[in-house]
Amino acid sequence: MKLWISKNSEVPVAEQLTTQIMLAINSGELKANQKLPSTRELARRFALHSNTVNAAYHDLARRGWLHFKKGSGVYVRGLAPGVSLDGQLELDQLISAFIKMAREKGFTLGEIRCRVKGWLEFQPPDHLLVIEPDPELRKILLAEIGEFTGFPVQGVGLGACKDPAVLEGGVPVALYGRAEELKGLLPHDVSCIVLQSRSATELDKLSMGAFSGPGVAVISRWPDFLRWARAILLARGMEAGQLSFRDAREKHWQVGLRSCIAVTDIVTAAQLPAGCRPLLLNVIAESSLQELRQFVDQFLGNNKRVSFKNRASRAVRPGVKRARDHR
């Protein structure tokens, strides 16, 4: 097996070793069950620290390319016929095959790296990234967006925006109140989709008959939801005496809810006891949810849509009603 090591390269020596060994295995230069040079031998040949070679061998063993035989050495792992590769190993095989073919056609590693980097940068995002520092609100936003768009969605706090790796592959999304704050955090070439919050005027056509019953409980783990829902419901003409409020972070908050109507968010709705009649109020405005779904369909492609449901939204029972259902 021929190996080339450059100690002045920007690519770490261990990575140079692992890449070349994978290429040798994929090309057939190294056969299944063939023994590799010992750690000491390879370190002496290229004047490397033995720990560097050892790390490369163990990395390849962990990824399924090599295996250690106690007291014997390091060998190329042989795959039995019909045995499928795990995802990481299969991906490595595909990448190494591509590099080998490109090198055979005369392209340098620098040219390959440059073109691959360009193609990766032009790939469409694969998820929506909700940026919100309040963890309880963030859970609600993730559930609403995931359910409404059917597109993968992740969430982070404000501090994470400074890490380019966190933003990679994602379309930043945030509520309107965070827009100014995010301007100073996001890279200048990264734009953010701004969402409006639901307002009381969106419920002008809400049937107040939906609230007929012995009691109405407003329930959420997000304290601002309790204040927000109170303002909306009172604006719609409800009496303060008709409402009770429960913080779902407190113990025993579910007691006595079987005969109540629960005005709640999409996350808390999944935890309501049986017999409770839930009415969901989305935090995100209906118009913003529609615009977000149109953005996914138009720019990210229908082929990217998945049958995605946030854990909370998956658990919502079929009988749960939404405010918009009563218009």
Chain segment 168-213, per-residue pLDDT in tens: 888 999 988 888 888 888 887 788 898 888 765 555 444 445 555 5
Residue-level pLDDT at 40 = 92
Residue-level pLDDT at 274 = 85
Burial (CB count <10 Å: 0-12, 13-18, 19+), residue 237: exposed
Asked if pLDDT for residue 90 goes beyond 70, the answer is: no
Residue-level pLDDT at 320 = 52
Mean pLDDT of the residues in the chain: 79
| Sequential DSSP letters for 215-269 | -EEEEESSHHHHHHHHHHHHHTT--GGGEEEEETTSTTTTTT-TTSEEEE-TTGG
13-120 and 127-198+287-308: identical CATH topology? no
- If pLDDT is split at 50, 70 and 90, which confidence band does 268 have? very high
Lowest mean pLDDT among 90-99, 126-135, 231-240: 231-240
Residue-level pLDDT at 220 = 94
| DSSP character at residue 284 | B
- Contact (CB, 8 A) for 158 and 185: yes
Overall average pLDDT of the 262-281 stretch: 88
Task: State both tokens at 217.
Answer: 């409980």
All structural domains of the chain with their residue ranges: 13-120, 127-198+287-308, 204-284+315-326
Of 116, 112, 114, the C-alpha closest to 101 is 112
Q: Which of 16-30, 37-51, 210-224 has the highest mean pLDDT?
A: 37-51
Provide the CATH number for the domain formed by 13-120 in this structure.
1.10.10.10
**How many Å apart are CA 127 and CA 115, to the nearest integer?**
24
Residue-level pLDDT at 235 = 63
pLDDT digits (tens, 9 = 90+) for 109-126: 888 888 887 676 666 788
pLDDT digits (tens, 9 = 90+) for 133-174: 999 999 999 999 999 999 999 999 998 888 888 888 889 999
Provide the CATH number for the domain formed by 204-284+315-326 in this structure.
3.40.50
Asked if pLDDT for residue 313 goes beyond 50, the answer is: no
Residue-level pLDDT at 276 = 84
Asked if pLDDT for residue 221 goes beyond 50, the answer is: yes
Residue-level pLDDT at 325 = 36
Overall average pLDDT of the 20-42 stretch: 84
**How many Å apart are CA 238 and CA 242, to the nearest integer?**
7
Asked if pLDDT for residue 303 goes beyond 70, the answer is: no
Overall average pLDDT of the 89-105 stretch: 79
| Buried-state track 134-151, b at ≥16 Cβ within 10 A, e below 16 | eebbbbbbbbbbbbbbbb
| Sequential DSSP letters for 127-178 | EEEEE-S-HHHHHHHHHHHHHHH-S-EEEE-SGGGG-HHHHTTEEEEEEGGG
- Contact (CB, 8 A) for 229 and 263: yes
| pLDDT over 90 percentage in the chain | 28
Domain 127-198+287-308, architecture per CATH: 3-Layer(aba) Sandwich (3.40)
Residue-level pLDDT at 134 = 95
